[in-house]
Structure 1
């Protein structure tokens, strides 16, 4: 048994939707999975991920961990594995690289068990991450809204407006989700919480129907300013883009900047030195598994 898993990158939060909004992007990790009689063999190829020298080649590899846990959940004996991983999603840049790895492993395990992906896949993936925004985007594609009820994770897929052309400004520096979450306060002013509730509701309308509302709909007071010390140049770029009328925000935990444009062009007045600027389409398919 052998198959190929293709999974998209994702951008979370989209400004006001902290741990709730996710957007799948047309940048993909591709993993070839071969089931063997025993053992584990992992080959990791840097396909643009910005260096993969720190990626483990043993049982601690995140794809392998996700395969093992999901096979156990599905009641399937864990086989030997050979993986060839072509990593294109930059690591530690706020583009969902760990979520993509988790979704890859879960999709692979479902294929091994010959079971179609179901709602439990989202639950398993979100348990790895602690939240569902990135993993839901990688699973389903498009624009996703994620939430929890008790210990259960949920997500709904929406169709992003077809005229939206995301631009990504990816810096060379990295950022840790764990470290940036540590910068968030335990409490925020009521006025800021109320502001974000309104902006999050507006964002749904802006992202799906009213693109003229993207700038106010991407405004945030809940998390970005608190974490700006971790990525000062990215915070500066967001401010300059927004001052130029571009709906910009920090992608996930940063330091990548997401600009939701209609033209796919950065304003000339904005300084992007030190950033790799790329236009990426919105992925609409989510994770794909193909037999080989």
Structure 2
């Protein structure tokens, strides 16, 4: 190969990354859930410099297919962090996570790239989970989506002067998830964040602190508390004008007793159900409303997070 570390020659990895839902109502920029809905990626080192990206599924014909692709930039970010020259790369991405939907598509791309880099560098450098979280947060700007994509389950993420940290928790087996994504509607995270006020009333902050604490208890121990635990006064109301159909559906679902919240920055809706039967009932409510077409995903919680598999090197003499 031309330049780079000769040990990388012929290396190939496949990566699987779950979708994620952040905030979960009151846990703004802190709580996230990994969803059993996966983007898959294959990355191979080639002799020629540069990068090519082949995209199948979501984003095909839309996302960059050269070195400016977010996955490639994420791989390059880890290589640069370790002071290793980036080799030539061939990528094949098979995407199912909708873009701009609030299901963590950018986090999946970032985590996918970092996990691919970790796999390619296996045996050359050691990269632990904390380092991956730091690099992912540098690229994403906040850890709430990248943490569950990396580690699976329910994650609590926070930042310190030394970098981002996380705690992974196991979700109660009775919790069932439903994500409703509006067809052909997207909302950028930057737009959603721009609608946030710089300060909120003291009583609203206290309200969300109590609900966030309750939500953790509900998700890991007491699913019957999910409805009360998903109340929010910190971000959803302020963002409602950017996604009126989302706001209307959440209002309708909550009026009928379902723990519905904005998934991430939206416009998708996440419904946290205490059992599978309740999830079926929530889907029926969504189907009854006809003002906006929604694609309903009945999903499990992903417990593994992102995974990488290295394949035997294919070197042609």
Contact 1:107 1:117 in 2 (8 A): no
CA distance in 2, matches of 1:255, 1:168: 10
Contact 2:52 2:67 in 1 (8 A): no
- Residue 265 (str. 1) matches residue 280 (str. 2): yes
Aligned pairs for 1:229-244 (under 5 A) are 229-244=241-256
Contact 1:71 1:110 in 2 (8 A): no
- Residue 103 (str. 1) matches residue 102 (str. 2): no
For residue 112 of structure 1, report the CA deviation from its aligned partner: 1.6
Aligned to 2:314: none
Aligned to 1:124: 135
**Backbone CA RMSD of aligned residues:** 1.2
Pairing partner for 1:275 from 294, 298, 301: 294
CA distance in 1, matches of 2:164, 2:23: 16
Paired residues, number: 289
For residue 52 of structure 1, report the CA deviation from its aligned partner: 3.1
Contact 2:230 2:259 in 1 (8 A): yes
- Residue 289 (str. 1) matches residue 297 (str. 2): no
- Residue 227 (str. 1) matches residue 239 (str. 2): yes
CA distance in 1, matches of 2:92, 2:302: 23
Aligned pairs for 1:78-117 (under 5 A) are 78-114=86-122, 115-117=126-128
TM-score (ref. length: structure 1): 0.96
CA change 1:272–1:157 in 2 (3 A) is farther
For residue 92 of structure 1, report the CA deviation from its aligned partner: 0.3
For structure 1, the residue ranges without an aligned partner over 5 or more in a row are none
Q: Deviations over 1:102-134 (max 9, x none)?
A: 001111111121135431100000111111111
Task: State which structure, 1 or 2, has the greater radius of gyration over its C-alpha atoms.
Answer: 2
Aligned pairs for 1:192-211 (under 5 A) are 192-211=204-223
CA distance in 2, matches of 1:169, 1:100: 19
CA distance in 2, matches of 1:100, 1:94: 12
For residue 59 of structure 1, report the CA deviation from its aligned partner: 1.3
CA distance in 2, matches of 1:82, 1:153: 31
- Residue 160 (str. 1) matches residue 171 (str. 2): yes
For structure 2, the residue ranges without an aligned partner over 5 or more in a row are 1-10, 312-317
- Residue 29 (str. 1) matches residue 44 (str. 2): no
| Counterpart secondary structure, 1:225 | helix
CA distance in 1, matches of 2:309, 2:81: 22
